[in-house]
């Protein structure tokens, strides 16, 4: 499958929905990808089963607060600088690029680098959504190591982190990201094709592209675009348990950028059939939990997507504003994230939430 310049907007929009509020505004990434594709023509998106077991595949992503990325965007040089530094450390060239996080701008970054270098990208990612920490990926859950990892900034400063403990890598890299101004280009979890096969959330890049296309087509058709989102997701393997959690108006946002994250809470007041009701969402880059009164309506790792009521344009946590009319969707995460081993890493407790994880389809089974 080929990705061309005509796919960029659809992919960016679909990925932003899957970002569950995080993953960064894809606007800058889409601009960069369009420019890279204008030069290179197309990128090969390949199924992980076609990657040789012994091949070297490297995930690339941005690390940091999405709020920062919107203003301090990459210049492109750091992409190659970071990858080359990791390749030098490994003594070997990458043959495939991987996506760490399908949600938001990180869906686009491997494609930007792939277009610049003429490398293929494997269809899939390490989250099936977005998460705020390095070890919150299936690559970690399946025992791969984040290190050696490189971080690069727009001055092509390069920092390489090595540790046998992924949480130490996250901690050190988070400090470096702050030192680099709040966001950095990262290359990490270098892995073999065999490891990619056993640990990836498969097919999520083409899935995000399909979702974006469905939204675009619905906008021209007169039907409600958020209905098209639900209809498309119901045809997929991972996201098929999805429903409208709430419709209303953003009435309050509390947000701060701290420790390299965008943290806060947002409140929505119901409109139309939801009038008189209130939904509150707590976020750390991504939406973590949606509560109505004392009841959890959806909780991480299931996805909570906030989209514009009229256009289904996804709204990131740093884009939330008073007065926005939104539809809020609850979406089942990839089953690979629902095992006890996975929930220990990306379940509610990993975010300091005291609520237990309950599947979104159970919480909304009316």
Q: Residue numbers of the site for its own copies (CB under 8 A)?
A: 85, 88-89, 155-163, 165, 168, 171-172, 174-176, 178-180
Q: Which residues contact 35 (CB under 8 A, 6 or more apart)?
A: none
Q: Which is nearer to its own copies, 169 or 315 (CB)?
A: 169
Least distance from its own copies to the Cβ atom of residue 244, Å: 43
User: Distance between CA 319 and CA 310 in Å, rounded?
Assistant: 16
Least distance from its own copies to the Cβ atom of residue 146, Å: 12
**Closest to 148 measured CA to CA, from 133, 166, 131:** 166
Least distance from its own copies to the Cβ atom of residue 160, Å: 4
Q: Residue 268 corresponds to which tokens in the numbers above? A: 């929505």
Q: Which is nearer to its own copies, 160 or 251 (CB)?
A: 160
Beta bridge partners of 4: 42
Q: Which is nearer to its own copies, 93 or 240 (CB)?
A: 93
Q: Which is nearer to its own copies, 161 or 289 (CB)?
A: 161
**Closest to 342 measured CA to CA, from 129, 105, 179, 47:** 129
Q: Which is nearer to its own copies, 90 or 117 (CB)?
A: 90
**DSSP secondary structure, 15-66, as one string:** HHHHTTT-S--SHHHHHHHHHHHHHH-EEEEE-GGGS-TT-EEEEEEEEE-H
Least distance from its own copies to the Cβ atom of residue 7, Å: 35
**Closest to 10 measured CA to CA, from 34, 36, 44:** 34
Q: Which is nearer to its own copies, 83 or 176 (CB)?
A: 176
Least distance from its own copies to the Cβ atom of residue 72, Å: 16
Least distance from its own copies to the Cβ atom of residue 259, Å: 11
User: Distance between CA 37 and CA 114 in Å, rounded?
Assistant: 9
Q: Which is nearer to its own copies, 72 or 291 (CB)?
A: 72
Torsion of CA 355, 137, 99, 22, to 10 degrees: 30
**Closest to 109 measured CA to CA, from 87, 76, 132:** 76
Least distance from its own copies to the Cβ atom of residue 295, Å: 39
User: Distance between CA 38 and CA 7 in Å, rounded?
Assistant: 12
């Amino acid at each position: 499958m080929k990705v061309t310049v005509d796919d960029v907007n659809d992919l960016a929009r679909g990925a932003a929905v899957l970002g569950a509020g995080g993953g960064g505004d894809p606007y800058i990434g889409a601009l960069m990808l369009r420019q890279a594709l204008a030069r290179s023509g197309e990128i090969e998106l390949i199924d992980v089963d076609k990657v040789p077991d012994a091949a070297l595949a490297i995930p690339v992503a941005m690390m940091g607060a999405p709020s920062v990325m919107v203003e301090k965007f990459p210049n492109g040089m750091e992409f190659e600088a970071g990858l080359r530094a990791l390749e030098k450390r490994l003594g070997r060239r990458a043959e495939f690029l991987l996506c760490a996080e399908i949600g938001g701008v990180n869906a686009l970054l491997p494609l930007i680098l792939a277009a610049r270098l003429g490398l293929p990208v494997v269809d899939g990612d390490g989250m099936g959504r977005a998460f705020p920490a390095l070890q919150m990926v299936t690559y970690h859950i399946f025992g791969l190591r984040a290190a050696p990892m490189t971080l690069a900034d727009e001055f092509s400063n390069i920092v390489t982190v090595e540790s046998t403990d992924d949480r130490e890598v996250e901690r050190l890299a988070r400090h470096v990201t702050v030192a680099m101004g709040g966001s950095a280009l990262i290359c990490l979890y270098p892995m073999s094709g065999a490891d990619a096969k056993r640990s990836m959330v498969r097919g999520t890049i083409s899935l995000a592209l399909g979702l974006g296309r469905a939204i675009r087509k619905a906008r021209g058709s007169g039907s409600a675009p958020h209905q098209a989102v639900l209809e498309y997701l119901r045809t997929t393997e991972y996201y098929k348990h999805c429903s409208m959690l709430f419709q209303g108006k953003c009435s309050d946002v509390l947000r701060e950028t701290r420790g390299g994250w965008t943290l806060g809470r947002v409140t929505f007041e119901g409109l139309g059939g939801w009038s008189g009701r209130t939904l509150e969402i707590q976020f750390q880059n991504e939406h973590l939990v949606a509560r109505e009164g004392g009841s959890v309506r959806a909780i991480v790792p299931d996805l909570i997507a906030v989209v514009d009521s009229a256009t289904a344009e996804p709204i990131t946590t740093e884009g939330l504003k008073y007065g926005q009319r939104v539809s809020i969707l609850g979406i089942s995460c990839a089953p690979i994230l629902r095992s006890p081993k996975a929930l220990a890493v990306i379940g509610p407790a990993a975010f300091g939430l005291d609520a237990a994880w309950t599947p979104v389809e159970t919480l909304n089974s009316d």
